[in-house]
Structure 1
Amino acid sequence: MPATVAHRGAPSVVRENTLASFRAAVAAGADAVELDVRLTRDRVPVVLHDRTLERLWGHETPLSALTYKGLNSLTDGVPTLAEALAVTHEVRTMIDLPDPAAAAAAVSAVREADASARVYYCGGPDSLRRVRAAEPGAELALTWHRAAPVRATLLDDLRPHWLNYRFGLLTPALVERAHADGRLVSAWTADRPRTMRRLASMGTDSITTNHIARLVGVLERARRRNPPA
């Protein structure tokens, strides 16, 4: 059965990318927590998906314009990466890097937390190149937005352990091809039980969802119906 990955924690229950959301995801049985890392103006790696605070916190201010102290004055729940890693210590952590500039600082924070063995990084080529430069042995998940094969030169450059696809792109043939090349396949962001079951049936190795308790339940029921031989 695929690993269960909690997208930004448990956003259907608690505000996304907060410590409370990560705790809820771990309590729900997630195998891994996915979170997003960006930098404040004074280069503190914090957990926030968007460029601004508008959607979650009601401020149009770009994160890049705020120091960490200034960020704290406008919100009461944007954690540092170090704080998030402390909360997710029981499970794996998938660090998404929407801003390539945050890659080196994220790697440093992971090292300082002694969390390298349980962290892997996802994102586009630019972000992952910077991770690879900062941490040659890092486990990478290349986010790919097309059904067309990833260029061989890019695979040679990044050496990703995972290919990370939007769930609608995945087919059994694509999963089989990735496995034949020695790579694992992850899918994002699947929220409907029917989609979860379809992805599991085609051999997907990891499923990311906004509804982690639902995914854990769907896969547990599937295990009971089809116990391992």
Structure 2
Amino acid sequence: MSPMGEGRPQVVAHRGSSATNAEHTLGAYVAALDEGAEALECDVRLTADGHLVCVHDRDLVRVAQKRALVSSMELSELEQLDVASWKHPWADLDDEAPERDPELGKVLTLRRLLETARDYPRPVELAIETKHPTRYAGLVERRLVDLLDEFGWAGPDAPVRVMSFSWIALRRVRRLAPDLRLVFLMDGPTDWARVRPFAEPDWIAGPGIKLLRKHPDLIRKIRANGTELHVWTVNKESDVDLCRELGVSAVITDKPGQTLHYLEG
């Protein structure tokens, strides 16, 4: 049932090891891998010149203090930005802080993240969320499948799954790459019932942890029908315990090392 961790949920690093590192940076993902994360989660958006980058928000205000939409900027412009300093704004004043490699704090392309996972000396899976709505609509999924195909990761044995809150986006991926695993993300108690007429039986349910806390019986019912569960964002030990109790296959967490240690301990 668990994608990698036998007898326990797979530990998936949410935007990298993002509790202590700037999210979606190469530094955050390298830290997550070093902590033992079994899979890496990321959000992807398309730049104005057609590159997929790992960014959550539509704009760059939160992570780079820049009032601009990711979709309106070219990759070369994005690469000039520091998207890591916001996480530790006083680091420059700390004489004992380690030197930071600027390359680890830049906007990360999905290609670079895929290369990092491919070249790591142990198997690593990827959970890739396409963000919607976006001005590029279905082009995001098309570009994603094309890139995965370059890596040989669009077939039945791919270490990749695609996630979205948009069932339309997931159906689009299914048409483009029928063998990829799909996760329908949800945060409301009626979301799963609403999407069932449009979903296929093998879709994975991706509820938020708040939904598990508030509606455990609903989650039990979904699980009882044979549906796999991948849950976000699981940072507390009590929530890890709840996921285990409900038969969750993967926990997406900001604290991969800590979560792994708790599950194995």
When normalised by structure 2's length, the TM-score is: 0.77
Classify the secondary structure of the residue corresponding to 1:88.
helix
Whole-Å separation in 2 of the counterparts to 1:162 and 1:105: 22
Quick check: 1:175–1:204 contact (8 Å CA) kept in 2?
no
Quick check: 2:39–2:126 contact (8 Å CA) kept in 1?
yes
Matched, 1:79 2:97: no
Pairwise mapping of residues 136-147 of structure 1 onto structure 2 (< 5 A)? 136-147=178-189
Moved more, 60-69 or 92-101: 92-101
Whole-Å separation in 1 of the counterparts to 2:202 and 2:24: 25
Percent of residue pairs bearing the same amino acid type: 28
Moved more, 185-194 or 94-103: 94-103
Flag the structure with higher helix content: 1
What stretches of structure 1 move > 4 A for 4+ residues in a row? none
Query: Which one-letter code corresponds to 2:248 in the other structure?
Result: T
Query: Which one-letter code corresponds to 1:20 in the other structure?
Result: G
Moved more, 59-68 or 75-84: 75-84
The count of aligned residue pairs is: 219
Inter-CA distance 5–16: structure 2 relative to 1 (3 Å threshold) = same
When normalised by structure 1's length, the TM-score is: 0.89
Query: Which one-letter code corresponds to 2:111 in the other structure?
Result: A
Matched with 1:196 is 240
Pairwise mapping of residues 46-195 of structure 1 onto structure 2 (< 5 A)? 46-75=53-82, 77-89=106-118, 90-99=123-132, 101=137, 102-116=140-154, 117-124=158-165, 125-148=167-190, 149-151=192-194, 152-156=196-200, 159-170=201-212, 171-195=215-239
Query: Which one-letter code corresponds to 1:144 in the other structure?
Result: M
Quick check: 1:193–1:214 contact (8 Å CA) kept in 2?
no
Q: What is the root-mean-square deviation in Å for CA atoms of aligned residues?
A: 1.7
Q: Specify every segment of 5 or more residues in structure 2 that has no aligned partner in the other structure, as ranges.
A: 1-7, 83-104
Quick check: 2:187–2:210 contact (8 Å CA) kept in 1?
no
- Give how far 1:172 is off: 4.7
